[in-house]
Amino acid sequence: MKKIRFERNKIILAIIDILIIALACIFSKFLLSNTFYFKAEEWRQIGITIALSIVIYQIFFRIFNLYRSITRYENGRDYLIYIFVCAISCITTYIIKNIFKIDTFTTKECILSCVLIAVGTVSCRVVIRMLLNETLPAEKKNDEPVIAKRLLIIGAGRSSRDIIKAIREGLKNTYYIVGLIDDNPAKWNCSISGVKILGNRDKIQEVCKKYNVQEIFFSITNISPENKKELLHICQETNAKIRILPSTEDIIKNKNVLDSLKEVEIEDLLGRDPIKLDNNNIESLIKGHAILVTGGGGSIGSELCRQIATFNPELLVIFDIYENNLYNIELELRAKYPNLNIKGIIGSVRDKKKLEDVFSKYRPYLVFHAAAHKHVPLMEVSPLEAIKNNVLGTQNVADCADKFGTKRFILISTDKAVNPTNIMGASKRMCEMVIQAKNKTSKTEYAAVRFGNVLGSNGSVVPLFKKQIKEGGPVTVTHKDITRFFMTIPEAVGLVLQAMTYAQGGEVFVLDMGEPVKIYDLAVSLIKLSGLQPDIDIPIEITGLRPGEKLYEELLMSEEGLEHTKHNKIFVAEPLDIPAEEVNKRVEMLREFVQTENHTMEEIKKVVKKAVPTFVEAEEKNKKIINYKQELEKIEARQMQEHELMPKEA
């Protein structure tokens, strides 16, 4: 059936072309003869010329397979071929006319007729293509009816034009474009490829409501993070699903602009400016040296490996206990940096003998210690594992760095180490004390970098929420008021490398994490970004705080001061002066304690409190915070009542 339809279309096009050739010959004769009256013999000669032109043009049209081209998908290159074929046909017609002494058409008339035929055939195909793309949907599978989604495009530039073109050529039955939005007033009421620009960002909600927009494509790539954040927040309130063009580089890489569109990520909504790093200083410490990353297959560890690899180390040693993660990052780096010397080693930081073998063989110049148990609820269930892996593991790696002459040792710490309310946080606070104590007796420079949650890390809340939304909910939040600091993984690791250049030994660096984010608001945003409505399409369930979980995280203890560094997002917490002997005594106490089993949770917490005096149980701390908040709310309510009762001025 399709073949018959295609053959029929070819015949129709051929007939149209024949009419164009005939009319072009007649018009060129009329226009250059300054008369519309010809004798019968002249008409006979004109007829012969028309017949000759039709035959020759049709022969060349078929030689170049012009009738096998699918008109709907033709482009500028195809139209150039039409013009080229018309020129060859004209020259051939002119040569044959001279050979057979057909003098009816002059050279000028021949050239003019060629121009008219070229313009006519190309124009005809452009019109047919436009009509097909406007009135007919793209090919459908199994003849299933398709209802096009109503689409609004943010931005009226080259990217939006490419999106419109791509949709019309392949997704006509998938999307119906209602219009464009752009903040440039010079563009309002204009159109791109026939799609009208409806106004600025203030029109977004009105347009979405009027046309019942189901999806929004954010096509602006050259925009400040803050401006992008504002626009996305407006789009977020429309209940439309939002997709975004990440960058010009991604568009170039993917070729098809629609392939570059991605889901909006939470980092897009944070509106952070890109972090500027002193790459020269970072490179001076990494280039040409052996670098060891423990926990190199994890979220932070693997990103450390990626960024370190860009600075051309002589050797990158990736140490991890989990073979799958190690395999994946090693495979990735070998593909991207074929000349980089990489050694992937399976091992545990608890195994001091294994660590000594690695340090002895590779003599790392810099050590980034990212290996740790980090999941708060899991470590509440298995507290001794946190002590063994985090505290004793850090002591093992720190001892090896000292023994084998490592230049600098950087511990990856966490905001949960500040006034810890759980075993994991307390163990990381103990790690900070270990490296600060070690710094006092070693030539190696030991420092820690403390930061909060990273977006997209293994087990973090964002991937969990996305999975729950995909499954239809509910999205689970432990408390409506719980807040966390957030930072992207590349952002955090870039600042870790920068902080490493400032380290002189003994510092705990604190990263500026921006404003804390309410986890409940985060859940609401992710649901809206999916084009769904919270508590209507996807329920949000408050499950209650988990054991050891804080309502609010902190980046500094009250005893610690804060000093600025050269970088506006990196600070130094003034170290608490705890004698190295005291720290070593606490480590040995923990070592002896974990060697025996069957301890009760009360016994474990009692020992941890001895080692980390700032450790306070979460329930006690959260209760104080909730009581304090309730008191504040009462005071605010009382002040509002008093304000309302005040006599108004006449």
Concatenating the DSSP letter of every residue in 1-38 gives -HHHHHHHHHHHHHHHHHHHHHHHHHHHHHHHHT-S--
Collapse the DSSP code of 246 into the 3-class scheme (helix H, G, I; strand E, B; otherwise coil) and give the result. coil
Biggest alpha carbon–alpha carbon distance for the chain? 121
585-594 long-range contacts, Cβ below 8 Å, gap at least 24? 586/430, 586/433, 586/610, 586/611, 587/391, 587/392, 587/395, 587/430, 587/434, 587/611, 590/387, 590/391, 590/392, 590/430, 591/392, 593/387, 594/384, 594/387, 594/388, 594/392
Specify the amino acid at residue 344: G
With tokens 């081209």, the residue in question is: 69
Q: Angle, to 10 degrees, between the axis of helix 519-529 and the axis of helix 461-470?
A: 40
Structure token digits, residue 133: 């793309």
Residue 320: φ, ψ to 5°: -155, 150
Contact status, residue 195 vs residue 180, Cβ threshold 8 Å = yes
Q: In the Cβ-directed half-sphere of 248, how many Cα atoms lie within 13 Å? A: 5
Q: In whole angstroms, what is the distance from residue 634 CA to residue 628 CA?
A: 10
Query: What percent of the chain is helix, strand and coil (3-state, nearest 5)?
Result: 55, 15, 30
Structure token digits, residue 625: 């915070």
Catalytic residue among 388, 416, 528, 550: 416
Structure token digits, residue 31: 């226009």
Distances (CA, A) of 491 to 47, 94, 227, 295, 459: 77, 70, 19, 18, 18
Q: Considering only CA atoms, which of 217, 259, 265 is closest in space to residue 241? A: 217
- Check if 255 is active-site: no
Q: In whole angstroms, what is the distance from residue 25 CA to residue 73 CA?
A: 29
With tokens 């929420």, the residue in question is: 465
| Consecutive H or E run containing 207 | helix 204-211
Strand stretches in 585-633, DSSP E: none
Catalytic residues: 416
